[in-house]
Amino acid sequence: MQKPTPIFDGHNDTLLRLHLRKSADPVSDFLNGGVGGHIDLPRALEGGLRAGLFAIFIPSPGKAADVEAIMSQPTYDAPLPDRCTADAALAETMAMAALLLRIEARSEGRLKVCRTAAEISATVGAGNFAAVLHIEGAEAINADFNNLDVLHAAGLRSLGPVWSRPNIFGHGVPFRFPSTPDTGPGLTDLGRELVRRCNALRIAFDLSHITEKGFWDVAELTDAPLIASHSNAHAVTPHARNLTDDQLKAIGETKGIAGLN
In this prediction, residues 111-129 reach a mean pLDDT of 97
- pTM attached to this predicted model: 0.94
d(CA 84, CA 62): 10
Q: Please give the residue that has the higher pLDDT: either 163 or 38.
A: 163
Domains and CATH numbers, the chain: 7-258 (3.20.20.140)
Quick: pLDDT tens for 247-261. Answer: 999 999 999 999 988
H helices within the chain, ranges in order? 14-21, 26-32, 41-47, 67-70, 86-106, 117-125, 146-154, 189-201, 212-221, 245-253
The CA-CA-CA angle for residues 105, 107, 108, to 5°, reads 90
Q: For residue 81, name the pLDDT band (cuts at 50, 70, 90).
A: confident
Predicted local confidence at residue 35, as pLDDT: 78
Q: Is 62 a residue whose pLDDT tops 90?
A: no
Q: For residue 63, name the pLDDT band (cuts at 50, 70, 90).
A: low
**Paired residues of 123 in beta bridges:** none
Q: Is 3 a residue whose pLDDT tops 80?
A: no
Q: For residue 1, name the pLDDT band (cuts at 50, 70, 90).
A: low
Backbone φ and ψ of 243, nearest 5°? -95, 135
Supply the mean pLDDT for the chain: 94
CA torsion through residues 215, 164, 239, 203, sign: positive
Which of 26-40, 63-77, 187-201 has the highest average model confidence (pLDDT)? 187-201
Quick: pLDDT tens for 133-174. Answer: 999 999 999 999 999 999 999 999 999 999 999 999 999 999
Question: Which amino acid type is present at position 44?
Answer: A
Q: For residue 82, name the pLDDT band (cuts at 50, 70, 90).
A: confident
